[in-house]
Structure 1
Amino acid sequence: MTSLTATETATLERAADAPMLAQVERWAAVNSGTGNLAGLKNVVGQLADSFAALPGDLRLVAADPVESVDAAGRVSTIQRGDHLHVRVRPDAPVQLLLTGHMDTVFAADHPFQNLTWLEPGVLNGPGTADMKAGLSVILAALTALEASPLAERVGYDVMINSDEETGSHASARLIAELAAGKNAALTYEPALPDGTLAGARPGSGNFSVIIHGRAAHAGRNPEEGRNALVAAADLAVRLNALKSLELKVNPARIDGGGPNNVVPDQAILRVNLRPATPEAMVAAGTALRDTLAHIQRDHDVHCHLHGGFNRPPKPLDPAATRLFELVRDCGAALGLPPIRWNATGGVCDGNNIAACGIPVVDTMGPRGGAIHSSDEFLIVDSLAERAQLSALTMIRIAERGTV
């Protein structure tokens, strides 16, 4: 380590000594897929017990209701799990937000349930990298910070939500509430195996279009029908044609249809749009509505649009760039390989935080890879490395009083 004060060195030693691996193994052993309410209740209870070691107020926050459209076109409300919120020193001069998520993409009946050592120091398991390990890093870094003489200068909110993997619809309001007025935010998605961070991110919107046509006999009077399935297919092709450098479009699924001798009167198209910039997001919304109007006119059907842009684009503005540079410089002080950041096509809660005007680095978690697959792995040595990186970043923000 270089360029470190005695106070920083003592804090970093505490961060590295935290029992992070044991926590990861314990938390990842419980399935907490976004829809597994029992598993999420188990995990949030364990997290509450662990994070109660921090000073301040800890609470469980009920999830906001989430609207969903099923394969039959019925709109219903989905229940999500509770979110965890810890607030410490809200009147301190420097205010930070640290966020993570307890849910995984693996459902309760998914075959990927167990932890396996792929080789010494590389742990395979559901949520090991994304992001049970990131949660352990948050706790280790904050516990070390609390032992520092600089702790009184820093207040923070920790938010661990239960629905990040499905878009944070049930926690977006809470994220925006906690982001307000913060100097900076750190989110604990995993870094790439070589330590590279995610920089700019596109936005993301998930939409369901319910198309109502008119049923008719496929042989006797098909001309009296209005084929909703054909309209949905045409809509998918037209939306796909909107692709550009500024907009990614993925028509993902069509539900609908029935017997071969019936003109289908209903279909549902699911589509994901990823605009690169705020301007592209506005243009995409306009293009989507215009395309729906053309489909209704050309096919004589009615379209009902559900969903929206739940992740705004996250460009790198000057404040965010300064925060990235601070993290890079802290990595250099720790003797880590040079920390770089690249634009990525993925989205996360960092998008929501950046939309509030708060600089955020959203890949402060340990190094790992193959997330969202049964090959997911955590590089265990990076637990201590990333806990120290977070602790030093927060200390230096406290010393400066700003990013």
Structure 2
Amino acid sequence: MHKPKPKLFAAVTLAFVFSIAPALAAPPSSAERVMISTVDAEAARHLALLERMVNQNSGTRNLDGVRKVRDMLVPEFEALGFTTRWIAQDGVNRAGHLHFEHKGKKGTKRLLLIGHLDTVFEPDHPFQKFERLDANTVKGPGVGDDKGGIVTILSALRAMDKAGTLKGANIEVALTGDEEEAGLPLTISRADLIAAGKRADAALDFEGLVVSDGKDMGSVARRSAGNWKVTVTAKSGHSSGIFSAGSGEGAIYPLANILSAFRKELPEPNLTFNVGMVAGGASASLSPNDANAEASGKTNIIPAQAIARGDMRALSRESIERTLAKMRAIVARPFNGGSATFEFEDKYPPMAPTPGNEALLAKLNGVNASLGLEAMAALDPLKRGAGDVSFVAADVDSLAGLGPASSGDHTAAETVNVPSIWRQAKRAALLMTRLSREKSAR
């Protein structure tokens, strides 16, 4: 499918969404009423499944734990008529990816549903168990991100099955096993997801719903994620000679100037660039995982080495390339007594806002009208991070944030709003049913 060129995220997005949504408004059909009631009737069943999954640790590096969550899900999907494909990822030291496929009516749209099996919480983390805080709130590792999203998928599919609308739907479900820390190289670890995107007519991402000022938001865009590193090497010597022609200015002053230039010269809409770690001294180095640094020196020694590491996030490939060109030019500026190098690790691509993505949100707002829910505005992409849907967004119209509303993600305070699971499942069931009846463009 040809994807239109992305545009800057702006008020035009909201105008587009709200102008189309009223035209799609319709009361729920008899099948849709069955889906709505089924989600409510089976809520306890799905909450129990969420509890079982959360109580099974599946930190990204806990390969056996990820596989155990896989084993919980296979019978759930196969009971709905899906076939299972497990894609081992031994070559990138990850557990693998779980794909399910449901074949429906030929010539109709193929939907790709995206979620993930892993969490950020490894077995040695103290946060391990599911806990019910009250009737509307549960707590636990991955309860929202993204085991709550998986439960939302199953609740929606089971509702479709009960209403008879799943039978004709062409659906592929892709649950990655390493979303929180993707295996490298990405050309291997994301190859099957990218291929699934090329097969699909629409991609629906079941990571968390964002609620802003009490309103549910739709995500038609997500920014990229990449890591950069600046390394400065300079002459060392006695501090009494610093700034002289012979001794130079050391490594730390030039690094500070480079970072200051980044802050002043790089800003543009929807771009952020964080400095996550700095080390410098007579010697400085990063650990093999780039998450720790060592430095040594004395006040009377001119520092010979300095390193800074950070990330960069942008909304379009053009913004990424433009920013990288500026960063390289800044790092290449001469200074007294040394040199600097720049490295960039391109990880998650951007999911730029496109007319196709906006049209999906408009269709979701048609569902909202049928459900008697308020229309969802497009979320500012600055308010969420990168995700797996970005790997397919260049090839297929995509919509993110169809999972439940949660808070404290990636911390020991992660909770999920239970009613949002059922609200999102109803939205997803109706949206998938309506999309599945449309003619495929493939």
- Which TM-score band applies after superposition, normalised by the shorter structure? 0.7 to 0.9
Aligned residue pair count: 387
TM-score normalised by length of structure 1: 0.84
Residue 274 of structure 1 pairs with residue 307 of structure 2 = no
Q: Distance in 2 between matches of 1:167 and 1:240?
A: 29
C-alpha spacing 1:168/1:95, structure 2 compared with 1 (3 Å)? farther
C-alpha spacing 1:29/1:215, structure 2 compared with 1 (3 Å)? farther
C-alpha spacing 1:154/1:226, structure 2 compared with 1 (3 Å)? farther
Residue 133 of structure 1 pairs with residue 170 of structure 2 = no
Deviates more, 1:25-34 or 1:197-206: 197-206
| Percent identical | 27
SS in 2 for 1:213: strand
Letter in 1 for 2:113: L
What is residue 400 of structure 1 aligned with on the other side?
A: 438
Q: Distance in 1 between matches of 2:63 and 2:248?
A: 43
Alpha-carbon shift at residue 178 of structure 1 (Å): 0.7
Indicate which of 192, 195, 205 corresponds to 2:226.
Answer: 205
TM-score normalised by length of structure 2: 0.77
Residue 286 of structure 1 pairs with residue 325 of structure 2 = yes
What is residue 403 of structure 2 aligned with on the other side?
A: 365
Alpha-carbon shift at residue 366 of structure 1 (Å): 1.6
Q: Distance in 2 between matches of 1:386 and 1:401?
A: 25
Indicate which of 173, 196, 202 corresponds to 2:191.
Answer: 173
SS in 2 for 1:165: coil
Letter in 1 for 2:363: L
C-alpha spacing 1:229/1:39, structure 2 compared with 1 (3 Å)? farther
Instruction: Please list every run of 5 or more consecutive structure 2 residues that lacks an aligned counterpart in the other structure.
Output: 1-24, 285-294
What is residue 272 of structure 2 aligned with on the other side?
A: 248
Q: Distance in 2 between matches of 1:151 and 1:240?
A: 51
What is residue 332 of structure 1 aligned with on the other side?
A: 369
Alpha-carbon shift at residue 167 of structure 1 (Å): 5.7
Q: Kindly indicate whether the alpha-carbon contact (under 8 Å) linking 1:215 and 1:225 is maintained by their aligned counterparts in 2.
A: yes
Q: Kindly indicate whether the alpha-carbon contact (under 8 Å) linking 2:226 and 2:344 is maintained by their aligned counterparts in 1.
A: no
Per-residue CA distance 1:51-103 (angstroms, 9 max, x = gap): 3334243122233866xxxxxxxxxxxx2231111122288322010000122
Task: Map residues 383-394 of structure 1 onto 2, 5 A cutoff.
Answer: 383-394=421-432
What is residue 53 of structure 1 aligned with on the other side?
A: 79
What is residue 11 of structure 1 aligned with on the other side?
A: 35
SS in 2 for 1:133: helix
Q: Distance in 2 between matches of 1:299 and 1:33?
A: 46
Q: Distance in 1 between matches of 2:99 and 2:339?
A: 46
Letter in 2 for 1:307: E
Per-residue CA distance 1:234-253 (angstroms, 9 max, x = gap): 43333233223342111111
Q: Kindly indicate whether the alpha-carbon contact (under 8 Å) linking 1:92 and 1:152 is maintained by their aligned counterparts in 2.
A: no
Q: Distance in 2 between matches of 1:3 and 1:116?
A: 37
CA RMSD of aligned residues (A): 3.0
Instruction: Please list every run of 5 or more consecutive structure 1 residues that lacks an aligned counterpart in the other structure.
Output: 67-78
Alpha-carbon shift at residue 184 of structure 1 (Å): 0.7
Indicate which of 109, 120, 132 corresponds to 1:117.
Answer: 132
Per-residue CA distance 1:167-194 (angstroms, 9 max, x = gap): 6765432221110031111111111344
C-alpha spacing 1:90/1:167, structure 2 compared with 1 (3 Å)? farther
Q: Kindly indicate whether the alpha-carbon contact (under 8 Å) linking 2:157 and 2:166 is maintained by their aligned counterparts in 1.
A: no
Task: Map residues 53-202 of structure 1 onto 2, 5 A cutoff.
Answer: 53-63=79-89, 79-89=93-103, 92-93=106-107, 94-166=109-181, 170=186, 171-193=189-211, 194-202=215-223
Residue 24 of structure 1 pairs with residue 47 of structure 2 = no
Q: Kindly indicate whether the alpha-carbon contact (under 8 Å) linking 2:70 and 2:117 is maintained by their aligned counterparts in 1.
A: yes
Per-residue CA distance 1:208-259 (angstroms, 9 max, x = gap): 34x2626745459875688445544443333233223342111111243213
SS in 1 for 2:437: helix
Q: Kindly indicate whether the alpha-carbon contact (under 8 Å) linking 2:36 and 2:159 is maintained by their aligned counterparts in 1.
A: yes
Alpha-carbon shift at residue 49 of structure 1 (Å): 4.1
C-alpha spacing 1:227/1:361, structure 2 compared with 1 (3 Å)? same
What is residue 381 of structure 1 aligned with on the other side?
A: 419
Q: Kindly indicate whether the alpha-carbon contact (under 8 Å) linking 1:91 and 1:155 is maintained by their aligned counterparts in 2.
A: yes
Per-residue CA distance 1:115-135 (angstroms, 9 max, x = gap): 333332111222111111110
C-alpha spacing 1:154/1:168, structure 2 compared with 1 (3 Å)? farther
Residue 300 of structure 1 pairs with residue 318 of structure 2 = no
Q: Kindly indicate whether the alpha-carbon contact (under 8 Å) linking 1:239 and 1:288 is maintained by their aligned counterparts in 2.
A: yes
Alpha-carbon shift at residue 264 of structure 1 (Å): 5.0
Q: Kindly indicate whether the alpha-carbon contact (under 8 Å) linking 1:226 and 1:265 is maintained by their aligned counterparts in 2.
A: no
Residue 235 of structure 1 pairs with residue 258 of structure 2 = yes
C-alpha spacing 1:219/1:367, structure 2 compared with 1 (3 Å)? closer
Q: Kindly indicate whether the alpha-carbon contact (under 8 Å) linking 1:62 and 1:83 is maintained by their aligned counterparts in 2.
A: yes
Q: Distance in 2 between matches of 1:368 and 1:158?
A: 22
Q: Kindly indicate whether the alpha-carbon contact (under 8 Å) linking 1:59 and 1:86 is maintained by their aligned counterparts in 2.
A: yes
Q: Distance in 2 between matches of 1:337 and 1:245?
A: 29
Alpha-carbon shift at residue 38 of structure 1 (Å): 3.8
SS in 2 for 1:62: strand
Alpha-carbon shift at residue 262 of structure 1 (Å): 5.7
